[in-house]
């Protein structure tokens, strides 16, 4: 489970208080750390790469790499290479024609010698960059198919001029209305059949999926296997069949490359626990066995020592309309020891947060175990994590492992820092209600956002339990499972952000101002600011955007009788002003209680009513106004990253003696390099 950046992201920092410091002293230290972050942001490192369409491409630095031993640096390098080796898997998972289209467009770009000063060529370049950024021809966030600003006739002239083959459906789909949504979560449609994502064959339906997996029974019902996680479900001669992602199976050519790099990584593992986990991951890739996947996750969760960690494999299920299949993902992490220590106060108090939550007693965990939280510096990303990256991750996703073994939560510190550096304040000033709200955001916004991320990942995803006999949420809540879980975790964070406990723990100097700032920002974003990411007339499809709107919209409606949140119109502009933060805190608690009940009881009718009633439809008048007000800002609403390139240096014997880190000059440079060095799959798989 991961948390994505939102409009107006700010960085903040927390500190541990177990060193004998007074709460006042700890809060002073927090202020000093935030000041250090701001100081670092002010350095002359060039974070900006370029901007096109609705995308801003940034760079990040690998903090801490030079302090690692050569063996540790090798581990980082091998894990990064393993991630990149699977890059093409994500492209093919996203859409069956993606690799065919990408390879053709890249060949045109590399070999066209005609006029490159025309609007058509500029539009072609922009379209290619958008495809690169989205890992395919569907927008990375909205899921809508990208629309080129050139026609088919022009593309055909480029194909002819460069002797490039692109024909049939793969050519036509760029310009027609087919496969319009990568993931279609709309009510009243067959979500599988209506989604272009390549997790299912073209003739597979919702009913097929539910029937196929409904017959599967895990050997241990208390430890259900993640059926469907690492396969494509197709129908051959009317018979449903899984194509397993493994060596010798679907995506085998790329997986063999991943295995080779993971074996090198295992050879330089920092400790036995880490090496054991890597060995199980290798075995999983070799066999595709889901019991091995669970064994790996148990071992990986328990492997908490060392400077290096990683996320690798088929993990997040947001791209599956029914929540079964995992997208390929890789994140390589270097632990920030100082910041991780300062953040650990949250995980150390996980049981207190659970015990004092507004959940029904039967839905609370009696023993919250194994929740670890670290701040890390990213060393490389691939697949579903690149170029668009999360800012926080909590894994593993299996509920029984989280309950019995625990979970790992991380904040991607250098990514958050890069986002903070690249942001601007103009959009914030446009949408805040008044000067007080602006001053609170400027003073406490970074801290509030950082604490919300921590509470969301560490406490939110780890909280609550499913009632005995109730199935996994992907089975009970179906296409609403992901947005319900993200909203539930958000609500845990929101509930505790306006609580004196944060000050008691020394996390803040003024809990009330931090809480007000967090509430202002969430309502502002959920009801207005995030709409800059949608085209006028669009409904909300993405799970995180949906959850922010249904949380904010439900709270707004429930508080109308007491005017808790007031809709204000001034000079023709709309604002939302919170009049009673305490009552809003209570409303968030009521919604948290209800969302946990829905999850615990598997109440599909209730989650459907909640999401469809508050999270999907967009007020068109508000949306048009938001887009008009936002038009003055040149800053793109979406950001992502190129990855620093870790380059080994070798001696005459070919042995690695060290590494240098190079920053890509352009987005195009990195994408063409990846195409040249990490294209291990055929166009059709």
- Structure confidence by residue, pLDDT tens digits, 403-413: 899 999 888 98
- Rounded to two decimals, the pTM is 0.83
Q: Residue 537: inside a domain, yes or no?
A: yes
Q: Residue 84: inside a domain, yes or no?
A: no
Measured CA distances, 338 to 54, 344, 374, 377 (Å) = 36, 10, 10, 12
Statement to judge: residues 25 and 135 lie in one domain: no
- Name the β-bridge partners of 308: 334
The larger pLDDT score, comparing residue 522 to residue 342, is at 522
Helix (H, G, I), strand (E, B) or coil at 149: coil
Q: Residue 414: inside a domain, yes or no?
A: no
Provide the pLDDT for residue 74.
98
Q: Which of 588, 464, 465 is nearest to 519 (CA)?
A: 588
Question: How far is C-alpha 641 from the geometric centre of its chain's CA atoms?
Answer: 13
Measured CA distances, 602 to 15, 425, 508, 610 (Å) = 37, 42, 37, 14
Q: What is the DSSP string of 597-629?
A: HHHHHT-HHHHHHHHIIIII---HHHHHHHHHH
Whether residue 21 is predicted with pLDDT greater than 90 in this model: the reply is: no
Provide the pLDDT for residue 240.
97
Q: Residue 18: inside a domain, yes or no?
A: yes
Statement to judge: residues 31 and 169 lie in one domain: no
Segment (H or E) for 75: helix 70-85
pLDDT band, residue 79 (cuts 50/70/90): very high
Statement to judge: residues 499 and 551 lie in one domain: yes
The per-residue pLDDT for range 536-587, each reduced to its tens digit, is 998 998 899 999 999 999 999 999 999 999 999 999 999 999 999 999 999 9
* Dihedral (Cα; 457, 88, 6, 353), 10-degree rounding: -10
Q: Which of 540, 546, 590 is nearest to 564 (CA)?
A: 590
- Name the β-bridge partners of 410: 374, 393
Statement to judge: residues 31 and 123 lie in one domain: no
**Of 42-46, 59-63, 328-332, 629-633, the least confident:** 42-46
Whether residue 29 is predicted with pLDDT greater than 80 in this model: the reply is: no
Statement to judge: residues 105 and 35 lie in one domain: no
Whether residue 42 is predicted with pLDDT greater than 60 in this model: the reply is: no
> How many domains in the chain?
2
Q: Give the end of a domain, one of 150, 181, 212.
A: 181
Distance CA 251, CA 98 (A): 14
Q: Which of 508, 486, 512, 487 is nearest to 499 (CA)?
A: 512
For 15-37, what is the mean pLDDT?
38
Q: Which domain holds residue 108?
A: 96-181
């Amino acid at each position: 489970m991961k948390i994505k950046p939102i409009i107006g992201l700010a960085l903040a920092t927390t500190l541990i208080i177990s060193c004998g410091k007074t709460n006042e002293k700890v809060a002073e230290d927090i202020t000093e750390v935030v000041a250090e972050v701001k100081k670092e942001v002010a350095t002359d490192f060039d974070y900006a790469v370029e901007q096109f369409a609705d995308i801003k491409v940034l760079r990040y630095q690998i903090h801490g790499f030079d302090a690692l031993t050569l063996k540790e640096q090798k581990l980082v390098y091998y894990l990064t290479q393993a991630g990149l080796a699977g890059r093409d898997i994500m492209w093919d998972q996203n859409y069956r024609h993606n690799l065919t289209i990408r390879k053709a467009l890249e060949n045109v770009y590399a070999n066209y010698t005609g006029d490159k000063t025309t609007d058509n060529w500029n539009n072609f370049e922009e379209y290619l960059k958008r495809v690169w950024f989205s890992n395919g021809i569907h927008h990375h966030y909205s899921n809508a198919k990208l629309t080129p600003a050139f026609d088919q006739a022009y593309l055909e002239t480029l194909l002819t001029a460069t002797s490039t083959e692109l024909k049939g459906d793969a050519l036509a789909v760029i310009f027609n209305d087919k496969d319009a949504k990568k993931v279609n979560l709309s009510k009243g449609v067959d979500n599988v059949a209506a989604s272009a994502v390549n997790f299912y064959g073209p003739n597979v339906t919702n009913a097929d999926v539910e029937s196929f997996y409904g017959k599967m029974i895990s050997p241990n019902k208390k430890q259900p296997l993640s059926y469907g996680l690492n396969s494509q479900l197709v129908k051959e001669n009317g018979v449903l069949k899984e194509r397993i992602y493994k060596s010798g199976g679907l995506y085998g050519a790329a997986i063999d490359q991943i295995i080779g790099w993971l074996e090198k990584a295992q050879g330089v593992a920092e400790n036995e626990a880490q090496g054991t986990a890597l060995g199980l991951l290798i075995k999983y890739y070799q066999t595709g066995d889901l019991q091995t996947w669970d064994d790996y996750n148990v071992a990986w969760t328990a492997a908490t020592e060392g400077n290096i960690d990683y996320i690798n494999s088929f993990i997040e299920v947001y791209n599956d309309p029914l929540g079964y299949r995992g997208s390929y993902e890789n994140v390589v992490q270097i632990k920030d020891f100082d910041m991780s220590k300062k953040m650990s106060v949250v995980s150390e108090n996980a049981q207190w947060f659970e015990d004092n939550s507004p959940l029904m007693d039967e839905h609370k965990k009696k023993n919250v175990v194994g929740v670890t939280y670290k701040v890390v510096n990213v060393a490389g990303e691939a697949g579903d994590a690149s170029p668009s990256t999360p800012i926080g991750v909590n894994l593993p996703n299996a509920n029984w492992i989280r309950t019995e073994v625990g979970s790992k939560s991380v904040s991607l510190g250098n990514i958050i820092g890069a986002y903070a550096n690249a942001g601007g304040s103009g959009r914030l000033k446009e949408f805040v209600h008044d000067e007080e709200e602006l001053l609170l955001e400027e003073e406490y916004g970074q801290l509030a956002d950082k604490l919300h991320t921590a509470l969301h990942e560490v406490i939110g995803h780890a909280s609550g339990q499913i009632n005995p006999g109730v199935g996994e949420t992907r089975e009970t809540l179906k296409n609403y499972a992901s947005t319900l879980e993200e909203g539930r975790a958000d609500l845990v964070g929101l509930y505790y952000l306006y609580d004196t406990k944060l000050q008691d723990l020394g996390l803040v100097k003024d809990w009330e101002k931090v809480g007000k700032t967090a509430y202002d920002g969430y309502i502002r974003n959920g009801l207005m600011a995030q709409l800059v990411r949608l085209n006028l007339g669009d409904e909300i499809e993405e799970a995180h955007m949906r959850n922010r709107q249904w949380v904010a919209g439900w709270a707004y409606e429930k508080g109308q009788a007491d005017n808790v949140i007031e809709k204000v119109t001034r000079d023709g502009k709309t604002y939302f002003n919170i009049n009673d933060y305490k009552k809003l805190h209570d409303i968030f608690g009521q919604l948290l209680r209800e969302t946990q009940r829905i999850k615990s009881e598997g109440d599909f009718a209730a989650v459907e009513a909640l999401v469809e009633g508050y999270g999907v439809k967009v007020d068109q008048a508000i949306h048009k106004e938001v887009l008009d007000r936002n038009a003055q800002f040149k800053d793109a609403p979406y950001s992502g990253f190129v990855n620093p390139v870790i380059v080994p240096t070798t001696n005459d014997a070919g042995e690695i003696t060290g590494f240098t880190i190079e920053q890509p000059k352009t987005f195009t440079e990195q994408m063409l390099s990846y195409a040249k060095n990490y294209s291990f799959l055929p166009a059709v798989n």
